[in-house]
Structure 1
């Protein structure tokens, strides 16, 4: 090698050729799977990409990290031992006093030092059950040994179907239930254009701060309303090993769906990407039912309703009423001022006038619990006095 670090002789030209082949450009292009991945990462939900070997899962992660301006830390899960994730014991001078801390690996220390980044676990389906068990705490609690990863660190994984993975395993149900599962496929036209030198640009959804409160309230109303109508879908563990290793509904994954839906509302994400993310959280069966429910829900913006409660009409359908009232209470909770609290009671009064006091009962109890001591009792509370007094939310009946 020459003193300036360049490769001498004919290999210098070969290296220059390789550099030219690596030089590409990007262009805006619609990609629902890239948008779904970006939405899950924006919502800070662990996401797992499923796809055959060699179709660009790792390349997609590299594009996303570059688009977000984040450091990408890649860990090949299949070549690690459980102790690489659980930590190695470090015995101090007096373990009985100081305990035995579990030393984290170098990649975890780098992420903790940086404070943010994308942590990418590749070849997850080739990791044996003992390694998958050690990863549970990393994915759910963000702890590697005694080190807590910073909250801004996003976790992404990739896996090949067991039939095409090297020494493939089905994911254990506890680990599978911690991920948003996305199917990763290739578009022949995209590959052809990419090899010509132009790849699609990753569009990163950006949360609009002005939409945040309303997005959270709408998402809470939609998910809570849906599960109230379909309680059998709250938890449903599939019967076969392959399905248990993918997405299925549980309280944990419904919370993931809540966060994904709120992020979708706050970013204005596309319908196809939102659908892929939601079904990737709770599974196809529950996800398709949820999407059908959302399609016909069309909730008003609760913040606009609270700004002028007399100007809106209560939804006709009972399930929409329930979802809407949950959203209104959530919106008041996010900014609990006296005018908004009183506006919430005006909304509940309309539900009573419409002949649906039972739908508004729980919302009334939640709203009453937010009352500050110096706030007077609003007129809209009259229909709920007996209920609130019995529950203790309204001492003395008024």
Structure 2
């Protein structure tokens, strides 16, 4: 509970109208927090823990500043707010100060007072607000601050985290699109309101921001998994390494580059070590390299966790199949593709055994497409295996259901 003491003691002093108003304001500010699942807040905390600059996109009044205030309190960091649009470029690149002998010693670039306070404190949360209203010259001056953490001639300490907020251009006051170099330095997170959270918060209880707990025993495996995921995708999709969007609006958001792939790798490692959900990881990945490349990476990561098709062909019932329908479908497709790549009668029969096991342990509809494809791989002289009888009813039932659904839809039209 955040406690706000009353401004005066009614029993001993006479209250003025402003004193009473102050007491009422203190009571209104007294709020509490509670553990509550919040995907966007968890994604923000994970990115901050990974020491990556984060940019929150949301409409005015959505609660971005309140979230940053709570974040600073949770991390016990002093909050330094800088409104980018009301500063000059020299406020970020440094003001030239002429010394005694500039010809010998040069002209140092003096940092602003807020940067000096952060350096003296050794840690803090730097909040760059209203970033989308900063003119291009100011955005250019912010490049070195966001990436290298340098302001003038000083280096911000490692304990400083950077979070920014912006409104979409349609709702920003004299807004500008973010320049591609600046946009490519951030993890972009959409910030929207949750109806239940707002109602609960206005009642006095807001969600509690907590740092993710990293499992020390999973650190090495998390790094290995992140590297295999990113490198595995880029090896087969080299055009995704660097893809600058053609439209100005999309250039001001998340897009893939070697820099953002390195950021993505770090986020995957942190999310894996923290045991974060797929939804949180999806927000972070798509907010770093964009929706298209991000979804491709997530699909590739799903395939990484699938059973090895060769292991299934070697023993069709020894390895449990995935429970989730889309992952089970991908697993069975992988088995059929393995037979296609290396056709052999024994492997073909083993694949039918895998499909029969899938029908026995899960929904039959995911078997229809792999079974049709596998049947087309039959060579002359290959006898139809007995296990295919287990699939006939399921395939016929699934196809009958599809035809019935098609007839119903046609009748409705």
Pairwise TM-score range, normalised by the shorter structure: 0.7 to 0.9
2:17 maps to 10
Task: Give runs of aligned pairs for residues 151-170 of structure 1, distance below 5 A.
Answer: 151-170=158-177
Question: CA separation of 1:299/1:134 partners in 2, compared to 1, >3 Å: closer, same or farther?
Answer: farther
| Separation of aligned partners in 1, 2:42 and 2:214 | 14
Which consecutive residues of structure 2, in runs of 5 or more, have no partner in the other structure? Answer: 1-6, 313-341, 343-413
Task: Give runs of aligned pairs for residues 319-330 of structure 1, distance below 5 A.
Answer: none
Question: CA separation of 1:97/1:20 partners in 2, compared to 1, >3 Å: closer, same or farther?
Answer: same
| Separation of aligned partners in 2, 1:26 and 1:208 | 25
| Separation of aligned partners in 1, 2:192 and 2:142 | 26
Shift of 1:202: 1.2
The counterpart of 2:126, out of the listed 110, 114, 119, is 119
Shift of 1:7: 11
1:288 maps to 295
SS at 2:25 equivalent? helix
| Separation of aligned partners in 2, 1:214 and 1:118 | 30
RMSD (Å), alpha carbons: 2.3
| Separation of aligned partners in 1, 2:192 and 2:290 | 18
Task: Give runs of aligned pairs for residues 167-182 of structure 1, distance below 5 A.
Answer: 167-182=174-189
Shift of 1:238: 0.6
| Separation of aligned partners in 2, 1:27 and 1:206 | 17
1:140-178 residue CA offsets vs partner (Å, 9 max, x unmatched): 110000010112211110000011101000000000000
2:243 maps to 236
1:131 maps to 138
Question: CA separation of 1:237/1:22 partners in 2, compared to 1, >3 Å: closer, same or farther?
Answer: same
Please tell me whether the aligned partners of residues 234 and 250 of structure 1 are also in contact (alpha carbons under 8 angstroms): yes
| Separation of aligned partners in 1, 2:58 and 2:247 | 20
Runs of 4+ in 1 over 3 A off after TM superposition: 313-317
Task: Give runs of aligned pairs for residues 138-153 of structure 1, distance below 5 A.
Answer: 138-153=145-160
Please tell me whether the aligned partners of residues 45 and 212 of structure 2 are also in contact (alpha carbons under 8 angstroms): yes
1:169-220 residue CA offsets vs partner (Å, 9 max, x unmatched): 0000000000000000001221111111111111321223332222112111
1:291-328 residue CA offsets vs partner (Å, 9 max, x unmatched): 1111121289xxxxxxxxxxxx89879xxxxxxxxxxx
1:250 maps to 257
| Separation of aligned partners in 2, 1:39 and 1:239 | 30
SS at 1:236 equivalent? coil
Task: Give runs of aligned pairs for residues 215-234 of structure 1, distance below 5 A.
Answer: 215-234=222-241
SS at 1:210 equivalent? helix
SS at 1:119 equivalent? strand
Q: Bigger radius of gyration, 1 or 2?
A: 2
Task: Give runs of aligned pairs for residues 61-76 of structure 1, distance below 5 A.
Answer: 61-76=68-83
1:322-347 residue CA offsets vs partner (Å, 9 max, x unmatched): xxxxxxxxxxxxxxxxxxxxxxxxxx
Asked whether 1:276 is paired with 2:283, we answer: yes
| Separation of aligned partners in 2, 1:74 and 1:203 | 21
| Separation of aligned partners in 1, 2:224 and 2:54 | 24
| Separation of aligned partners in 2, 1:293 and 1:7 | 70
| Separation of aligned partners in 1, 2:195 and 2:274 | 29
Which consecutive residues of structure 1, in runs of 5 or more, have no partner in the other structure? Answer: 301-312, 318-354, 356-398
Please tell me whether the aligned partners of residues 218 and 299 of structure 1 are also in contact (alpha carbons under 8 angstroms): no
Asked whether 1:57 is paired with 2:81, we answer: no
1:83 maps to 90
